[in-house]
Amino acid sequence: MNNTVQLFATCLIDTLKPKIGEAVVHVLNHVGTQVEFPLEQTCCGQPAFNAGMRSQARKMAEHTIQVFEKSQNPIIIPSGSCTSMIRHSYLELFSGDETWLHRAQNLAARTYEFTEFLVDILGVEDLDVSFPHKITYHPSCHLLRNLGIDRQPRTLLANIRDAEFIELPHATDCCGFGGVFSADQPEISTAMLNRKIENIISTSAPYVITCDTGCLLNISGGVHRKKLPQKVLHIAEILDNFKT
Amino acid sequence: MKIFKQKIRQALNDQVLQAALDANAERRNAARLTALASLPINYEEAQEQAYKIRKNVIDNLEKYLELFIQNAKANGLIVHTAENAIQAREIILGIAKNNNAKLIAKSKSMVSEEILLNQCLEDSGIQTVETDLGEYIIQLRGEHPSHIITPAVHLLRNQVGETFQKKLGIPYTTDIPILTQAARKTLRKIFLDADIGISGVNFGVAESGTLCIITNEGNGRMVTTMPKIHVALMGIERIVPTLEDLVKMLDLLPRSATGQETTVYTQFIHSPRSNNDLDGPLKRHLILVDNGRRNTNKSPIQDVLLCIRCGACINACPVFREIGGHAYIGEKGEFTPYPGPIGSVISPALFGESKFGHLAQVCSLCGACKEACPINIDLPNLLLRVRAGGKEIHSKKQNFQPRGLTAPLIYSLRIFSFIMQHPKLLLVLQKTLGLFSTIFSLGKPWINLPPFSGWGYSKDIPTPVKHPFREQWVKKAISFKEPPGNFKPSHALMDQQKSLHGGSKRKSLSVKNRTILIHKFEREFTTLDGKFYICSKDTLADKVIELLKSLKTEQIISWNVRGKFEKIIDSLIENNIAINLCMPSNAKVGLTGVTAAVAETGSIMLTSGEGKPLSASLLPETHIAILYAEDIYPRLENVLTLPEVKNASASVLISGPSRTADIEMTLTIGVHGPREVIVICAT
């Protein structure tokens, strides 16, 4: 049986946080999956799509479809937001264009968010990982509401040895990232982020886990500016602590 | 745009507003979830049903509108149609002038806000008084509503105290019941003196021509019952096909709006006062307002017309929580009564994308609005469509400039898009960026960007790496790990994930037995602060007399209908209690029968008709209702189809004493309607 997947690393991980990409590869390898990285990949097009610039978004989406349809292997994305873009927004973007819509649907049908792939497709719930610290979890909005993925990351975190999980108060509140929104409306974004950071502080957990690099950059950027000690990790980074 | 940004900044720095908005978000959302837990069916199922009902109406709007108008006319309503705000205002002015109106009492109507009605009436020398407590407060302050359900949500009690001191001349107080009573006293005179009552409409029922209006304070009943003329204002999209559909909407609307299973008053209005009726308006006008709705219905953002104006999305929105309703304004400061997520779609849809299109950008696309919407409207998707051009989405138009974004941001996104179509160029630029950033940050892992960059306003950014992931991959710098065992991935296509509210389907109400029904009614009714007594039919008259004596009242306003009720009236007269059929201003008690009761919500349905003044359950401070146990039904749909209800010119479903939460969401009993509702159940 073919057990190779295509990694769509996302533009944020590629440019700013390659270590997360490496952790994703480690975890996927650890569970017996071989990873391909199509080099032509860039960005799914979400920034332009969310800004309302659909012609630009379309070009990036067409590019992404072309890159990943060369192979029929599943596409794994360590981001709920980019997965939601492909699964839902591509259908909106290509509606009325039968040819491209068909290609988009084909891609969407074999595109999985990282934790969803581990838990729902591979049936992996316990990676035999040890992390002897207090941790809390921020559920990213698109992951939670657009994809309905919450049980999967929480299961993986619950099975981490030696970690003390503390529920984040008002966990489902948006952290204020929102892509272009955070640059376009910095003041509102900041007010939302400050609430999130206050809630994080109240847990006393030094580690905040999330499944999206956008939220990670937003929260960690705010935490660093405030000179606070908390660290924000992508879930792949904490899962990349295998005991064996 | 400058004014808009200023408004946002002002709101963020207003500590009083911030406290008010926090309280609103926390309490309203919690109340909504609690109320939804008591739905007779699973919430998701209710949402799906509601979506189907509303979608069908919007897709066949002209058909249902025609049927609705036909039935409303047959019921005796005078129906007008207005294409736009100007026409709507002219129709109302015409009605006012024909009737020499000097004073108009209004209950809450978002359509009236939309067409700027108050300003127009005042300009024509007609005194117009808002009677919903929240609307009244902001009218006294000369402000616009900041929320579609709770218009004074931006105010704290001390501000209301100051306003009442200044405008009503009462001593300064922050005691909410005292403030509420001051409004009751002032507005009671307005209700009784008003020449015209203007109301909104929550739903129009196509099959019966019914107008359904729901309120808590009783002002809605006042303006539709006391003045000689009633004018109802309604958006053309607020239709449901059948009474059965209406019940489904009424399951969701109060729960989503205020966290109530049902509002205190749910009115079903069919016609003006009939020959037998003792009160109610002589004429009822219905004005159906288009004002951009038909045009919206032909566009990609037509689903915004599914909205039933519950305001749940507004309460759930994290952006509204930060900036409040008054910050949602046009490019040049133009007013819109619709804030929050739904407003950021309605305002551009109805009043123009050039003026209000920018509002859709003030959203992080978190989806909390969609989750809260009882009709399942995909608000994030509608907001994205507004961003992309709204009624004309330009998915292939190269130079489309989204409204509300700065030029530098738009150009950056264009450059970004170009780079992202050229992977080799991307690598070169990533490496260049990484190199310069490392130099600029002096090798540190974080860069402190300046505030004007947007991001740098409150956040640092990790220094872009010199060797992006794609380069590390090629150079095999990414370490691989050998799999420890044999994991066999099965790439079966997974089912689309269901959203979070799963759960088993709740069993529908199993109350059949009479005793259980009485018990259920009692429990629900007393939860809503109603008082409940039970007695045998033989001792009923004695019980009523005993109650009236304990209330020390000798004059009452009462129903006087033939049949079983007659005996009670006879007993009262024997006991020297004066019975009035029309309203004496000093009657403290109203005595009525009950046409039917709904056990599920603890509500009593009262119809108009011969010997049954509507005001008996509205004007006095205490309302005593006599309920025969056989008239209790499990659900509202059992009651709405009864002939007495269908044929009455107006009927009202009452669920406890009149109440408000318009000041700091603090529940206060007794606004315009009775402060005490007593049911005597005869078995």
Q: CATH number for the domain including B546? A: 3.40.50.10420
- Is B350 within a domain? no
> Region B522-543: what's the mean pLDDT?
92
- A98, amino acid identity: E
Angstroms from B89 CA to nearest CA on chain A: 36
pLDDT at res. A80: 97
Longest alpha-carbon distance in chain B = 104
Do A73 and A146 lie in one domain? The reply is no
Q: Does A216 touch chain B (CB under 8 A)?
A: no
Where is the domain boundary, A71, A103, A120?
A120
Chain B within 8 Å of A69 (Cβ-Cβ)?
Answer: no
Between B368, B460, B482, which is nearest A225 by CB? B460
Residue A175 has pLDDT above 50, yes or no: yes
* Contact yes or no for A18 and B323 at CB 8 A: no
pLDDT of residue B505: 30
pTM as predicted? 0.91
DSSP-assigned letter for residue A123: -
Question: Which residues on B lie below 8 Å from A181 (Cβ)?
Answer: 361-365
B176-197 pLDDT tens trace = 999 999 999 999 999 999 999 9
Decide if pLDDT at B504 tops 50.
Answer: no
- CA pair distance B73, B609, nearest whole angstrom: 20
What is the spatial distance between Cα A72 and Cα A75, in angstroms, rounded to a whole number?
A: 9
CA distances from B499 to A144, A148, B277, B496 (A): 8, 5, 51, 9
Percent share of chain A, pLDDT over 90: 95
Residues B73 and B198 in one domain: yes
Nearest to B190 by CA among B272, B264, B107: B107
Residue B402 lies inside a defined structural domain of this protein? no
Number of domains chain A contains: 2
Q: Tell me the nearest-neighbour CA distance from A227 into chain B, angstroms.
A: 10
Structural contact between residues A125 and A155, judged by C-beta atoms closer than 8 angstroms: yes
- Mutation target to probe the A interface, by most A beta carbons within 10 A, among B9, B10, B395, B444 is B395
A131 and A96 housed in the same domain: no
Sequence-ordered alpha helix ranges (H) in B277-394: 293-297, 312-316, 318-323, 340-351, 353-356, 368-372, 379-387
pLDDT digits (tens, 9 = 90+) for A124-136: 999 999 999 999 9
Taking chain A, what is the end-to-end CA distance rounded to the nearest angstrom? Answer: 25
Hey, is B267 helix, strand or coil?
strand
Please provide the average confidence, as pLDDT, over all residues in chain B.
90
Taking the Cβ of residue A201 and every Cβ of chain B, the question of whether any pair is shorter than 8 Å is answered with no
pLDDT tier for residue B483 given thresholds of 50, 70 and 90: low
Residue B346 has pLDDT above 60, yes or no: yes
The reply to whether A26 falls in a domain is yes
Give a yes or no: residue B13 inside a domain: yes
Q: How confident is the model at residue B314 (pLDDT cuts 50, 70, 90)?
A: very high
Do A98 and A23 fall into the same domain? yes
**B432 and B564 assigned to the same domain:** no
**Structural domain of A168:** 125-239
Rounded Cα–Cα distance for residues B246 and B641 (Å): 12
B376 located within any domain: no
Does A69 fall in a domain?
Answer: yes
Check residue B581 and give its pLDDT: 64
| Shortest CA distance from A174: residue in chain B | B366
Q: Both A130 and A94 in a single domain? A: no
To the nearest whole Å, the CA of B392 is away from the closest chain A CA by: 12
Q: Who wins on pLDDT, B342 or B442?
A: B342
- B632 forms beta bridges with B597
Using a CB–CB cutoff of 8 Å, tell me whether A48 touches chain B: yes
Query: Would the CB atoms of A191 and B12 count as touching at under 8 Å?
Result: yes
Supply the pLDDT for residue B44. 92
Q: Distance between CA atoms of B337 and B151, rounded to whole angstroms?
A: 10
pLDDT at B402 over 80: yes
- Give the per-residue pLDDT at A1: 44
User: Cβ separation of A141 and B365 shorter than 8 Å?
Assistant: yes
User: Is residue B468 domain-shared with residue B551, that is, in the same domain?
Assistant: no
Structural domains of chain B, count:
3
Of the candidates A120, A142, A159, which is a domain's last residue? A120
Q: Looking at the complex, report in whole angstroms how far the Cα of residue B403 sits from the nearest Cα belonging to chain A.
A: 9
Burial (CB count within 10 angstroms: exposed 0-12, middle 13-18, buried 19+), residue B2: exposed
**Nearest in space to B247 (alpha carbons), one of B210, B289, B217, B218:** B210
Q: Best interface-test mutation with B: which of A8, A14, A122 has the largest number of B CBs within 10 A?
A: A14
Per-residue pLDDT at B497 exceeds 60 = no
pLDDT at B395 exceeding the cut of 80: no
Task: Answer yes or no: do A142 and A234 share one domain.
Answer: yes
| CB atoms B404 and A50 under 8 Å | no
CATH number of the CATH domain containing A157: 3.40.50
Q: Is the pLDDT of residue B569 over 90?
A: no
**If you average pLDDT over residues B321-328, what whole number do you get?**
96
B120 and B37 within one domain? yes
In a domain, B372, yes or no: no
Chain-chain contact of A141 with B451 (C-beta, under 8 angstroms): no
* Angstrom distance (rounded) from CA B346 to CA B292: 10
Residue B357 resides in a domain: no
Look up tokens 């209710």; give the residue.
B46
Which residue range forms the structural domain that includes residue B462? 426-478
In a domain, A24, yes or no: yes
pLDDT of residue B506: 27
Tell me if A244 is assigned to some domain: no
Same domain? For B545 and B648 the reply is: yes
| Residue A49 and residue A29 share a domain | yes
Q: Which of B53-62, B484-493, B536-545 has the lowest mean pLDDT?
A: B484-493
pLDDT of residue B472: 93
Boundary (domain end) residue, out of B293, B328, B358: B293
Q: Mark yes or no for CB contact B498/A148 under 8 Å.
A: yes
* Residue A237 identity (one-letter amino acid): E
Contacts of B244 (CB under 8 A, 6+ apart): B637
Same domain, B53 and B147: yes
Q: Is A203 helix (H, G, I), strand (E, B) or coil?
A: helix
Q: Note the pLDDT of residue B493.
A: 35
Mean local confidence (pLDDT), A216-240: 97
Whole-number Å distance between alpha carbons of A10 and A44: 8
Contact check, Cβ <8 Å, B409/A55: no
Residues with Cβ within 8 Å of residue B304, at least 6 apart in sequence: B296, B342, B345, B346, B349, B377, B382
User: Rounded to an integer, what distance in angstroms lies between the CA atom of residue B222 and that of residue B650?
Assistant: 13
Q: What is the pLDDT of residue B582?
A: 62
B267: how many CB neighbours lie within 10 A of its CB?
24
Contact A48 B318 (CB under 8 A): no
Domain assignment present for B399: no
Residue A233 within a domain: yes
Output phi, psi for A105, to 5 deg.
Answer: -65, -40
Q: Which of A214-223, B510-519, B663-672 has the highest mean pLDDT?
A: A214-223
Verify that A212 and A106 share a domain, yes or no: no
Domain boundary among B478, B505, B540: B478
Task: Please state the ipTM of this predicted complex.
Answer: 0.96
Are residue A69 and residue A38 in the same domain, yes or no?
yes
Q: Does A206 touch chain B (CB under 8 A)?
A: no
Q: At what angle do helices B176-193 and B133-141 cross, to 10 degrees?
A: 90
Whether A22 has its CB under 8 Å from any CB of chain B: the answer is: yes
How far away is chain B from the Cα of A148, in angstroms, using its nearest Cα? 5
Report how far residue A156's alpha carbon sits from residue A24's, in angstroms, rounded to the nearest whole number: 14
Could you tell me if residue B492 is inside a domain?
Answer: no
Q: Is residue A47 part of a domain?
A: yes
Domain boundary among A77, A95, A120: A120
A145 shares contact with chain B (CB less than 8 Å): yes
pLDDT at B585: 60
d(CA B325, CA A213) in angstroms, rounded, equals: 31
Contact B621, B572 (CB under 8 A): no
The answer to whether the CB atoms of A109 and B361 lie below 8 A apart is: no
Chain B residues within 8 A of A194 when measuring between CB atoms: 458
Do residues A111 and A136 share a domain? no
CA B12 – CA A239 distance, rounded (Å): 39
pLDDT digits (tens, 9 = 90+) for B236-283: 999 999 999 999 999 999 999 999 999 999 999 999 999 888 899 999
Q: How many CB atoms lie within 10 A of CB B329?
A: 23
- Return the structure tokens found at B142: 């000369």
In this structure, are B459 and B529 located in the same domain? no
Please give, rounded to a whole number of angstroms, the shortest distance from the CA of A154 to a CA of chain B. Answer: 14
Distance between CA atoms of residues B54 and B238, nearest Å: 9
Q: What does the pLDDT average to over A213-228? A: 97
pLDDT the model gives residue B646: 87
CB contact at 8 A, B616 and B582: no
Q: How close, in Å, is residue B461 to chain A by CA atoms?
A: 6
